[in-house]
């Protein structure tokens, strides 16, 4: 391998540097093939939005930034094929300009397509699958230099979409698209804990995409964010649930300037300017932060809230904000929503790694028995045995990884720790 080794740098939040021998940036697919067939361990570095060691490599990290070209829309099939390293915000703007849209967006438009689908990253909505749910095909470069093109008729696709980068390099992804649409976003303040637990189905079904934000105060749960398609029946008015409609823009984290957030106050606008919480041109969320998320069967939400409120003192000390949202079931083997309609509990923490890592085992113990699956790209404490018990296709996923990467070129300590290698 003759490519220059670069400093891999840090994760986007600045809390950790990547463990690797160095970073390479191939300028062509031929150079990329040379890297993956060199015999050295390889991992692909996406948009740097993982909070754990998922992307670390005992060999080299590969950036695909130089291999991003213009997406290709197939109007007849209603699909778009996009290079894996393209960011969702850039893809969304391209699609909208050509009259098309995706079914969902994550809260951050800054994330790469391949990285987001590989970790089952999601948006919100009772009938909305995670971002990977739109995938109908992908091109996968394996360590033997072969390019595998997987489509909907291929039995491996359901295991290859959410694969944590363990199979090879996803060079391109093909996703379903639909005609562009507008969304209006409204925030409701003053949600009570009793309403959150007793009326969660009413809340989550009140708009296309719904999030509840809480800081675990004793007196009030927090705020409800409704994002609703203007081509659907009107969003439900929530005034009868003892909440009040906000009259000024909000940031998810109380007290933070809302300038980085997408337009609120019910003003309609393009889907990609409303479904994310944050604008592409701004640093999202708090910036200097940590993140964890646990996804469980949605019927367990009341029990989960009760369990977590027992840790409220610790949560208030370390949490900047917690987001509660729903994800529709899918059939992707390692997806956190595999086989079940899901509710996610997302924690944005202060950037205190030792304190957060000390709390996570207690938090996960509080959720024990609720079948919680951690987000693959965020901080969690669950061990391999715990994870294996929560995915019915776990053994199939392990076998698929070994078939595509028998020599472990794309393996790393993270995959070994979680039991997939």
Mean pLDDT of the chain: 97
Percent of the chain clearing pLDDT 90 (strictly above): 97
Q: How many CB atoms lie within 10 A of CB 350?
A: 15
Determine how β-strand 147-151 pairs with β-strand 319-327. unpaired
94-112 residue pLDDT tens: 999 999 999 999 999 999 9
Instruction: Assess whether pLDDT exceeds 60 at residue 397.
Output: yes
Taking the C-alpha atoms of residue 167 and residue 142, their distance in angstroms, rounded to an integer, is 7
Q: Are 348 and 322 in contact (CB under 8 A)?
A: yes
Model confidence at 362, pLDDT cuts 50, 70, 90, reads very high
Q: How many helices (H) and strands (E) does the chain have?
A: 12, 19
Model confidence at 194, pLDDT cuts 50, 70, 90, reads very high
For range 33-44, the mean pLDDT: 96
237-281 residue pLDDT tens: 999 999 999 999 999 999 999 999 999 999 999 999 999 999 988
- Per-state percent for the chain, helix, strand, coil, to nearest 5: 25, 25, 50
CA 87-231-337 angle, 5° bins: 50
Q: Which domains, ranges and CATH numbers included, belong to the chain?
A: 67-179 (3.30.465.10), 186-382 (3.30.70.2520)
The whole model's pTM is what?
0.97
Instruction: Assess whether pLDDT exceeds 70 at residue 1.
Output: no
């Amino acid at each position: 391998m003759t490519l220059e080794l670069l400093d891999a740098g840090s994760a986007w939040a600045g809390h950790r540097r990547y463990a690797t021998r160095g970073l390479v940036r191939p300028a062509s697919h031929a150079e990329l093939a040379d890297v993956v067939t060199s015999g050295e361990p390889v991992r692909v570095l996406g948009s740097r939005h993982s909070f754990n060691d998922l992307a670390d490599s005992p060999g080299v990290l590969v950036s695909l930034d130089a291999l991003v070209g213009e997406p290709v829309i197939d109007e007849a099939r209603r699909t778009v094929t996009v290079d894996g390293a393209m960011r969702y915000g850039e893809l969304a703007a391209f699609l909208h300009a050509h009259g098309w849209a995706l079914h969902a967006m994550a809260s951050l438009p800054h994330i790469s397509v391949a990285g987001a689908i590989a970790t089952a990253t999601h948006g919100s909505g009772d009938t909305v699958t995670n971002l990977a749910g739109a995938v109908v095909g992908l091109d996968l470069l394996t360590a033997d230099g072969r390019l595998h093109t997987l489509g909907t008729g291929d039995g491996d696709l359901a295991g290859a979409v959410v694969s944590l980068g363990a199979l090879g390099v996803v060079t391109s992804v093909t996703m379903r698209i639909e005609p562009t649409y507008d969304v209006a976003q409204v925030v409701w303040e003053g949600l009570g804990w009793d309403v959150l637990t007793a009326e969660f189905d009413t809340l989550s079904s009140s708009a296309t995409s719904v999030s509840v934000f809480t800081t675990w105060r004793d007196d009030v749960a927090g705020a409800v964010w409704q994002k609703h398609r203007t081509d659907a029946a009107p969003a439900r008015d929530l005034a009868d649930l003892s909440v009040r409609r906000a009259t000024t823009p909000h940031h998810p984290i109380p007290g933070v300037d809302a300038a980085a957030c997408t337009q609120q106050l019910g003003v309609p606008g393009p889907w990609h300017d409303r479904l994310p919480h944050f604008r592409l041109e701004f640093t999202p969320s708090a910036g200097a932060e940590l993140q964890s998320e646990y996804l469980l069967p949605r019927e367990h939400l009341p029990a989960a809230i009760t369990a977590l409120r027992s840790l409220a003192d610790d949560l208030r000390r370390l949490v900047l904000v917690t987001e509660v949202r729903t994800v529709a079931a899918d059939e992707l083997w390692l997806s956190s929503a595999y086989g079940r309609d899901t509710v996610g509990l997302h924690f944005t923490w202060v950037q205190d790694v030792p304190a957060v890592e000390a709390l996570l085992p207690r938090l996960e113990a509080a959720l024990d028995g609720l079948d919680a699956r951690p987000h693959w790209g965020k901080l969690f404490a669950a061990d391999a045995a715990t994870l294996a018990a929560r995915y019915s296709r776990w053994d199939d996923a392990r076998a698929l990884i070994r078939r595509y990467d028998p020599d472990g070129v794309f393996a790393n300590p993270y995959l070994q720790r979680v039991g997939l290698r």
